[in-house]
Chain A
Amino acid sequence: MIELDGLTKRFGAKTAVDNLSFQVKPGLVTGFLGPNGAGKSTTMRMMLDLDNPTSGAVRIYGKRYRELREPLKHVGALLDAKAMHGGRSAYNNLLCLAQSNGIPQRRVAEVLDLVGLAPVARKKSKGFSLGMGQRLGIASALLGDPQILMFDEPVNGLDPEGILWIRNLMKGLAAEGRTIFVSSHLMSEMALTADHLIVIGQGRLLADTSMADFIHQNSRSFVRMRSPQLEQLKDVLHEAGIAPVGVPDGGALEIDGVGAEQLGELAARHRIVLHELSPQRASLEEAFMRMTADSVEYHAHAPGAPGAAIDNPARPADVPAWGAGFDAADSTRKGGR
């Protein structure tokens, strides 16, 4: 259990995290979502007492992170997979961490095995690919077999197999009763992984809801039908009192509120040939973009016309174009750390 209470962080004039209060509960994967620069990483650093909050506090099982007696046993974190010494072998990188917490040496080999890095345990981590580096970071988070795991964008740069692996890993860890807190800017990824959702934009809390509720509220589900006997199909539907909600492009119908089974049976009864009968869900990504639209930090400029809408039919009408409001103050961010 992690509790944030009015957590605020200012960097000079810039408020990176603005009065955040929420709880992260055990036994669940909690997704922490926000666009670039929303303050996710800063929040996580404050949770680990790496950055000092300007005001507010974080409590982990009622304590400040610094007060935890066996930190790695309570919390494992992957903030940045590159945060290892490249000149050290994977094994030695983990060994230093294990020793600092009195974790037995055999555990190092165990976690390397768990993440599939056992064959390259003695290789310098400098030569690791993006995915291998990410796995090493995850191994370091798992080292203390902690109750709480925090991952900052763990799927960044991973291939589909790696993404699937992490997704299953996180679900498995949560199923064991652990608290999993994972940041991302991909709603679609979170929809598959997270049980609970916390959305922030420009450092402020925008949503704190269960994933199921979020999906329920934000996704329209419908069935798409396609048929060579379109007119006939329309008549049949009309007779059955079913009104298609949309006719997106040539030859397809979108129907809301009636299951695919019923529609299929209905068509079969009238001997109508179907080329498509598929349940669909409107993208959660759209819902996320709509939610954070006002607080998107870094907008891209359309070439030639700053702020002009990019011609993008997939974009919901009420989301401003990327390029609507680049915040010049952000360029003052300190480089190189």
Chain B
Amino acid sequence: MTPTTTTPDRPRSYSSPLPSPRPHLGHALASEWTKLISIRSTLWTLGALVLTVVGVGMLFVSQTSDRDYESISFTTPALFGLMVGQVAVMVLGVLTISSEHATGLVRTTFTAAPDRFRVLTAKYLVFSVTAFTVTALSVFVVGIAASLAHGGAAAGAHTADEWLGAAAGCLYVTLLGVLALAIGALVRHSAGAIAVMLGVVTLPPVLGAMLIVWEAVAPIGREILQRNVPVALSQLFGMQEGGDLGAAPSNFSNVLILVLITGATVAASYVMVGRRDV
């Protein structure tokens, strides 16, 4: 019926003629890049980012005069769209990892690449470089349009600092995306991780406003109001908030806070992904 286990002429090992380089991070990066560009949601999220930043920015540029730029940067018009567009960056960050868990693809991925840290590193790198590039391009298109259209004498003096600030702003949004990816890796559910990220962005201003009314914790409330995401981003794009809260924290300290939070979450994601059952 079936051949017995003692078939004599059957080879006992198999060697493939395929070339077999030893896989390294470069292979993981190529793989993650293919994953990113071969799904529709990348197009949707990044398309939404470009459209809101450039669309709203251009509208603002067309409705302003040279004189308006006396008190704001040429990059400020990009801020309004980016306030909305940052959500797209965070969604893409979450989906980069949570979609693999939703489909079960993560098992296939980790079978092909059992070095989970390498896979995760490749995801962080591919995502952050892509997110930063697209954000920066959209922002600078708007900034350059503003400086070309309204660069007259009435706009006053403008320095290179505002461009650096905008670059830092793009980095800030990218960090939010990286934080979203890390939370996606920890939570493993798209909706859950996106909800957490929306909370991170929208809750602090509300919370700060509540706390500041309550005498005992008013200083904490003030601190939160000065350091939350929308405020930090506005500042990086040349919009100073009203001064009734006292001297605003520096751009550097705002970015540093996000770097620390993101760094800690990313570290946690490595620990969890490394030892969890998938």
Contact = CB atoms under 8 A, between A and B. Distances in A.
Interface of A: 26-28, 45, 48-52, 65-66, 68-73, 75, 77, 79-80, 82-89, 92, 95-97, 99-104, 107, 140, 144-147, 174-178, 191-196, 210-212, 215, 337
A82 B104 contact: yes
19 contacts: A27-B7, A45-B107, A48-B111, A51-B277, A70-B23, A72-B112, A83-B108, A88-B38, A92-B34, A95-B34, A102-B22, A103-B18, A140-B108, A176-B11, A192-B2, A212-B1, A212-B4, A212-B5, A337-B104
Nearest to B116: A66
B4 A195 contact: yes
A52 B13 contact: no
Given A96-B34, A96-B35, A71 B112 contact: yes
A66 B28 CA distance: 15
B107 A97 contact: no
Interface string B227-271: 000000000000000000000000000000000000000000000
Given A75-B111, A83-B108, A27 B1 contact: no
A87 B40 contact: yes
A86 B103 contact: yes
B21 interface: yes
Contact of A84 (B23, B27, B103): B103
A7 B242 CA distance: 65
Given A50-B110, A83-B104, A99 B27 contact: yes
B278 A50 contact: yes
B20 A70 contact: yes
B99 A27 contact: no
A30 B15 CA distance: 20
Contact of B114 (A71, A192, A195): A71
Contact of A102 (B13, B27, B277): B27
A292 to B, nearest CB: 21
B115 interface: yes
A172 to B, nearest CB: 12
B30 interface: yes
B113 A102 contact: no
B113 A101 contact: yes
B103 A82 contact: yes
